[in-house]
Structure 1
Amino acid sequence: MPAARSSARGTGARGGAAKGAKIPQVSWREPRPAPIVLVSGPEEVLAERAIAGVREYLRAEDPALEVTDLRADDYEAGTLFAVTSPSLFGEPRLVRVAGVEKCSDAFLQEALKYVENPQEGATVLLRHTGATVRGKKLLDAIRSGAGGGIEIPCAAVKRDSDRVDFAAGEFKAARKRIQPTALRSLVSAFADDLTELAAACQQLISDVEGDITDDVITKYYGGRVEVSAFVVADTAIAGRHGEALLALRHALASGADPVPMVAAFAMKLRTMARVAGNREPSRQLAQRLGMKDWQVDRARRDLAGWNERSLGLAIQATARADGEVKGAARDPLFALERMITVIATRQPYGA
């Protein structure tokens, strides 16, 4: 067995094991082989990346890799042991098993036996979406350490911040720089489909020379980019009063809701307040505050031209607008415009 593979199997995962698990939890961005690889969770984009990464890792070690695909819900008895058995020339084997959450009794029984004594030179990759509890006994056995396996969790990407992190990670992995506002616009354009967002990131990485700017996003995806709450907030915080009011009107006309609009302002101002006046290195401060490095860096850029007084005024204006858009006032639009005026001008309303 190649040394690289044996060492890969013995090392732990970044981030530590999941609660109750005795096996390494491995990032889908850094997949690696093991006798048993459990790819769990509902997010198919991440799972596809993880599965492809394991295959690429093994093929880099030995181009003669044999790949076999099975379905756990349409399984013929004896197949798993047959395809994992050593061949005449001893080529490594990768067996990818889909549909474990719908597995047949025959597969479950044989898989439980297999994890007790995996075949040398074989990697069995099991895909379980978590959609059902079917196969739980097998998952429990793997997570207890039977078979010397690893788990690659692929949790659902639902929140806007998770999609931003995903897209930022795509560009970071490719060593490609993207402007924060361009990143926000890109995520906004593909807010409902992670598969399309992933494809858009890869297209920009392969097609665009140099940094990815707002103009690049407009050129490629201008027809899809809607003005989001964060775009309005970014514009107002930068002091561009007129542009911020126009962006607000555009966002509301596109169906944006005033309540999450105010929430976006509150989140950004709260982050600025936490970072203001702190000279710790970005990574150290981010770890202490439970934030990402890029969030600290962005907050520090946003704080240019701000002081304690103006930041306090902005936070007060946002708190007032929050109550008004939730029913304390008759005109949510006026409440939003007044909030934006205070934030963009950094002065009390009417001053």
Structure 2
Amino acid sequence: MPARRTSARTSRGAGGRAAIPQLDWRAPQPAPIVLVSGPEDVCAERAIAGVRDYLRAEDPSLEVSDLRADDYEAGTLMAMSSPSLFGEPRLVRVAGVEKATDAFLTEALAYLGHPQEGATVLLRHTGASVRGKKLLDAIRAGTGGGVEVPCPAVKRDGDRVDFAAGEFHAARKKIAPAALRALVAAFTDDLTELAAACQQLIADVPGDITTEVITRYYGGRVETSAFTVADTAIAGRYGDALIALRHALASGADPVPLVAAVAMKLRTMARVAGKRGSSAAIAADVGMKDWQVDRARRDLNGWNEQSLGRAIQATARADADVKGASRDAVFALERMITVIATRAPFGG
């Protein structure tokens, strides 16, 4: 069997001792012990499948076994990891380590001292509890010759954009920035669905991925997102903003929520504008989340006090117009988008 490589960044622990390698979940590699940690199941599932595929590419006769640490029968780990009659490599996948029984923890700690030749034991710990801390500490200290694949939560807007961008980068597929934002906006609530959408586009689309491609595949979801209209206008993409607005209206979007989405983003920008300090400090000061501060700071690029004031006034006027002050709600929306996207007075 070829020598296993674990080229990854290696962090330093307390006292300068080398900690185990930290591997990217998109490019995991096997080791006698593989700890897949963190709450993001989408990333963890990819990492676990990646380790299996790596081992199977080395030797198609790989034996794969599964056990649960929270419903564990004594002796199972050793039985599954021990060499078989014909010496095939073994992969033992252990789920539920954050709820492990005492029996499993005792045997797993003992196993670290004497890992079986040709076996990879993969432990999945979600971080939902501190159960198994002694075992994790031992692995991270290097006992057993392990590696760790961190799978932190993907919750912030920026994290979701980075996640989707990473999907396309890993597949060497180009996606336009506007298309990337539209795709992420269409799947804000479910990372599993976003991941599946990325993989579908990678598999189905032969060339670069444009906003037109996103609209064709996920138009129903994209068009119903008022924040797509808001994002494109605030970013100064006038043509894209008008197209997004027309798609939204054509799909039956109500003008009132459209204006409300724009108003909410502008209010957030106004609360952050001019403030200095870390995102966490500003968030605590204005009563927001730090990711909201980060997003508002990005949105404020190219804005000043005058243009932001005009945008807020235009949005307030549009809010009144779409609620009955004007007979032409579409014109009111287009005027608002024009002022925001061009950052200039209407008709100026």
TM class, shorter-length: 0.7 to 0.9
Deviation at residue 88 of structure 1 after TM alignment: 2.5
Distance 1:59 1:165, change over 3 A: same
Given that residues 238 and 338 in structure 2 are in contact (C-alpha distance below 8 angstroms), is that contact kept between their aligned partners in structure 1?
Answer: no
**What is the letter of the counterpart of residue 154 of structure 1?**
C
Which secondary structure does the structure 1 equivalent of 2:180 belong to?
A: helix
**What is the letter of the counterpart of residue 82 of structure 1?**
A
Per the alignment, residue 227 of structure 2 pairs with 229
Per the alignment, residue 286 of structure 1 pairs with none
2:81 equivalent among 51, 66, 84: 84
Per the alignment, residue 195 of structure 1 pairs with 192
Matched, 1:163 2:160: yes
Given that residues 41 and 155 in structure 1 are in contact (C-alpha distance below 8 angstroms), is that contact kept between their aligned partners in structure 2?
Answer: yes
Distance 1:75 1:247 in 2: 54
Deviation at residue 27 of structure 1 after TM alignment: 0.5
Which secondary structure does the structure 1 equivalent of 2:144 belong to?
A: coil
Given that residues 26 and 151 in structure 1 are in contact (C-alpha distance below 8 angstroms), is that contact kept between their aligned partners in structure 2?
Answer: yes
1:36 equivalent among 13, 29, 33: 33
Per the alignment, residue 93 of structure 2 pairs with 96
Please give the per-residue CA displacement for 1:188-246, whole angstroms capped at 9, x wherever unaligned: 11111111111111111111221222222222111111334354332451234855876
Distance 1:57 1:319, change over 3 A: farther
Aligned-CA RMSD value = 3.6
Deviation at residue 330 of structure 1 after TM alignment: 9.8
Structure 2 unaligned residues grouped into runs of 5+ = 275-293, 322-331
Report the TM-score, using the length of structure 2 for normalisation. Answer: 0.75
Per the alignment, residue 57 of structure 2 pairs with 60
Q: Which moved more, 1:180-189 or 1:221-230?
A: 221-230
Which secondary structure does the structure 2 equivalent of 1:223 belong to?
A: helix
1:141 equivalent among 133, 138, 145: 138
**What is the letter of the counterpart of residue 232 of structure 1?**
A
What's the % identity of the aligned pairs?
Answer: 63
**What is the letter of the counterpart of residue 180 of structure 1?**
P
Structure 1 unaligned residues grouped into runs of 5+ = 271-290, 292-297, 304-310
Distance 1:245 1:202 in 2: 27
Deviation at residue 114 of structure 1 after TM alignment: 0.5
Distance 1:138 1:150 in 2: 13
Distance 1:333 1:243, change over 3 A: farther
Per the alignment, residue 8 of structure 2 pairs with 12
Which secondary structure does the structure 2 equivalent of 1:95 belong to?
A: strand
Distance 1:239 1:133, change over 3 A: same
1:205 equivalent among 202, 205, 213: 202
**What is the letter of the counterpart of residue 239 of structure 1?**
Y
Which secondary structure does the structure 1 equivalent of 2:166 belong to?
A: helix
Report the TM-score, using the length of structure 1 for normalisation. Answer: 0.74
**What is the letter of the counterpart of residue 11 of structure 2?**
A
**What is the letter of the counterpart of residue 229 of structure 1?**
F
Distance 1:345 1:257 in 2: 18
Distance 1:107 1:68 in 2: 16
1:262 equivalent among 256, 260, 266: 266
Q: Which moved more, 1:31-40 or 1:250-259?
A: 250-259
Distance 2:44 2:303 in 1: 44
Per the alignment, residue 218 of structure 1 pairs with 215
Deviation at residue 30 of structure 1 after TM alignment: 0.7
Q: Which moved more, 1:36-45 or 1:337-346?
A: 337-346
